[in-house]
Amino acid sequence: MVSIEAAPIRVASMHGQRNSRVCDRIMSTTHALTATPIAGALGAEISGVSIADEHDAETIAWIRQALLDYQVIFFRDQKLTPDQQIRFSRRFGELEEHDFVKGLPEHPQIIRVVREADEETLNFGGAWHTDVTHQECPALGSVLYGLDVPRVGGDTLFANQYLAWDRLSTGMQRMLDGMTAVHTARGPFGPQGRSASNWKNMQVEPSEKALEEVTHPVVRVHPETGRKALFVNRTFTVRFTDMTEQESAPLLEYLFNHACREQFTCRFRWTPGAVAFWDNRCVLHYALNDYTGHRREMLRVAISGDRPR
């Protein structure tokens, strides 16, 4: 367990060693933030902070560093209004509205990710993905607040894409470095997309716009850490540039499966009021669909990101 109070303490976690980055900042005297890793690959629970409160720049810088060090961070027992969720998230960048999911009437930047107890279809986020990579500038990260979570089930899994890249052979890395791939939202949000038969209780608006395509590098360099991360995902990546979908499928399928190998993952068990904040530039996530008969409602905010390079 890592405790940060009045004096800098080197974090000896695997995450810190692997990233050569540590959350060892001196906190203001009023805060004592602690980062406790939850798995070997990524993820830490942060305690000692109520994110509903206003925070000084030092505290926000600490949280940002924890995000860079652990790729996904969690806060338990938070009590957030939509305004407070927006205020906290805005400390990390501009917020964006989802292209195909309508936000809350008074807070268009917040989408409701909800599945009612009687729904049996595919859940929203129920495939390994990075958020909104159909956009030229996919989100930097997302802040997900667990408003109504099942007593058991409905966990979210995360996968570290630095590790996914690092563990490829040098031959495969050499081949992929410099390759680009096409991403589109047509699978989930196109007129014939999955939203047509799923997510009945969400405000999803399928559209022709989802047929548009963008190109991203297959491996991206994280703009803050400088590390390389594999950057393809099953939801939005459809083919390599200048190749057909059929030609691309075998290698993409290999990469999709490789990207979420168990040793790259962590799994978060939701409790009421928990918050997950992931770095979308180096993390895949997956919402587990194992809670039919129970309601689950989350509020999600996405922070604007930059163009992957």
Residue numbers annotated as active site: 129, 131, 285, 300
In angstroms, rounded to a whole number, what is the distance separating the alpha carbons of residues 137 and 142? 14
Return the number of the residue (110 or 113) whose C-beta is nearest ligand SIN.
113
Amino acid, res. 130:
T
Among 15, 64, 234, 300, binds ligand SIN (CB under 6 A): 300
The nearest distance, CB 291 to ligand SIN, in angstroms, is: 11
Amino acid, res. 86:
I
The nearest distance, CB 257 to ligand SIN, in angstroms, is: 19
Check binding of 266 to ligand SIN (CB under 6 A).
no
The nearest distance, CB 63 to ligand SIN, in angstroms, is: 20
Return the number of the residue (90 or 112) whose C-beta is nearest ligand SIN.
112
Return the number of the residue (4 or 143) whose C-beta is nearest ligand SIN.
143
Check binding of 125 to ligand SIN (CB under 6 A).
yes
How many residues contact ligand SIN, by CB under 6 A? 10
Please report where in the chains the tokens 């894409």 appear, as a residue: 161
Q: Of 192, 158, 187, nearest to 277 (Cα)? A: 158
The nearest distance, CB 267 to ligand SIN, in angstroms, is: 11
The nearest distance, CB 294 to ligand SIN, in angstroms, is: 13
Return the number of the residue (8 or 108) whose C-beta is nearest ligand SIN.
108
The nearest distance, CB 298 to ligand SIN, in angstroms, is: 5
Return the number of the residue (156 or 184) whose C-beta is nearest ligand SIN.
156
In angstroms, rounded to a whole number, what is the distance separating the alpha carbons of residues 233 and 39? 22
Instruction: Kindly state the tokens that stand for 104.
Output: 């809350």
Return the number of the residue (159 or 298) whose C-beta is nearest ligand SIN.
298
CA-CA distances (angstroms) from residue 109 to 52, 89, 95, 266, 275? Answer: 17, 10, 6, 27, 16
In angstroms, rounded to a whole number, what is the distance separating the alpha carbons of residues 244 and 277? 35
Check binding of 110 to ligand SIN (CB under 6 A).
no
Q: Of 26, 28, 35, 31, nearest to 69 (Cα)? A: 35
Q: What is 58-106 written as a DSSP string?
A: HHHHHHHHHHHHHSEEEE-S----HHHHHHHHHTTS-EE--SSB---SS
Check binding of 282 to ligand SIN (CB under 6 A).
no
∠ CA 49-14-42, rounded to 5°? 60
Check binding of 298 to ligand SIN (CB under 6 A).
yes
Among 109, 156, 233, 289, binds ligand SIN (CB under 6 A): 156
Burial (CB < 10 A; 0-12, 13-18, 19+), residue 20, is exposed
Q: Which residues of this chain interact with ligand SIN, rule CB under 6 A?
A: 113, 124-125, 142, 144, 156, 285, 287, 298, 300
